Amino acid sequence: MPNPCAHLDAITDIKPAKAYECAECVKTGSRWVHLRTCQECGITHCCDNSPNKHATKHFKASHHPVIASAEPGERWVYCFPDEAFAEY
Ligand SMILES: [Zn+2]
Ligand SMILES: [Zn+2]
Ligand SMILES: [Zn+2]
């Protein structure tokens, strides 16, 4: 049973990744594993399997709650504060 989440319920259009790279890792030449796009501001960051975990850091700094996977073929969104996950 998924957690109830008003953040995911409020999303009608998924913001796609503007660039297929982590906005922070490219500055430092770091590597990433998977990419996630913030659904509040549209910036793309690396996932928690990546050494720098920039998507989680972005949430902690900005409190933008929802990310979408930016990986080709993946169609899901995740809410950090509610730990809620939904496919679309
Ligand atoms: Zn939520
Ligand atoms: Zn990164
Ligand atoms: Zn954001």
- DSSP-based three-state secondary structure for 9: helix
- DSSP-based three-state secondary structure for 85: strand
The residue type found at 28 is T
Model pLDDT for residues 9-18, shown as the tens digit of each residue: 999 999 999 9
Q: How far is the CA of 1 from the centre of ligand 3 (A)?
A: 27
The per-residue pLDDT for 17 is 97
Q: How far is the CA of 43 from the centre of ligand 3 (A)?
A: 6
Q: Which listed ligand is nearest to 2 at the C-alpha?
A: 1
DSSP characters over 10-36: T--SPPPPSSSS-TTHHHHT---S-EE
The residue type found at 81 is P
Q: How far apart are the first and last CA of the chain?
A: 16
Q: How far is the CA of 53 from the centre of ligand 3 (A)?
A: 14
The per-residue pLDDT for 4 is 80
Which residue ranges in the chain fall short of pLDDT 50? none
